[in-house]
Homo-oligomer: A and B are copies of this chain.
């Protein structure tokens, strides 16, 4: 299979038309004329992921986040912005990103996250329809909801709201969703599960009476990778997809926790 064919499969899974206008998605490194056999799947193209791809004889890296937050004018193996991209090119490995299109897609980041948390009646979250909203099968106290979320994502939460309040309707936005606090409140949800929330966004949530459960950018997005691999594998007979071994959470809770109480 050529990368060109892979691009077509991805277009069905996460159509480019779903991406935000500012986003950069698709084949970002290499040529679509290349034949591929092994694809490494990761949230980010970091240097360890690039080195794993090289060591493991991969032909393509598929990530959620694009390379180059800012457009570049030089490509150095010694600078954070370009170090991993340099390594991939150096070894002839391609790189493909599905970002906000994968957030919004059916079966994408937020669909998986909503499913993992057991939501039912799942619908797109207005106004951008990247996130999802749905309901718990039955109301649970926010404390129990928080524990369930943290447990499902194997991490710890930071929270906004009274832990005794009952939660029924829930919105989810994987990654940095804190800027959507007002949208979620306007959609009438009891709780909001996301990955990153800034201080003043938490103050706004508290003002709006919105319960929030903040679980880490990586932790709320990483869960899409396995279902994505399964789906890709079903559509590709001669290509094998592997989840990266190097893509650990960049900002984890320390093992055993840090609270001495």
Contact = CB atoms under 8 A, between A and B. Distances in A.
A157 interface: yes
A200 B218 CA distance: 10
Interface stretch (A12-20, A63-71, A127-135, A165-173): A63-71
Contact of A90 (B26, B92, B198): B92
Contacts of A195: 199
A252 interface: yes
A168 to B, nearest CB: 19
Contacts of A150: 258-260
Interface string A246-261: 0000111111111111
A28 B73 contact: yes
Contact of A44 (B28, B90, B158, B203): B203
Interface of A: 24, 26-33, 44, 46-47, 65-78, 80, 83, 85-86, 89-90, 92, 143, 146-147, 149-151, 155-160, 163, 175-176, 182, 195-200, 202-208, 212, 214, 216-218, 250-261
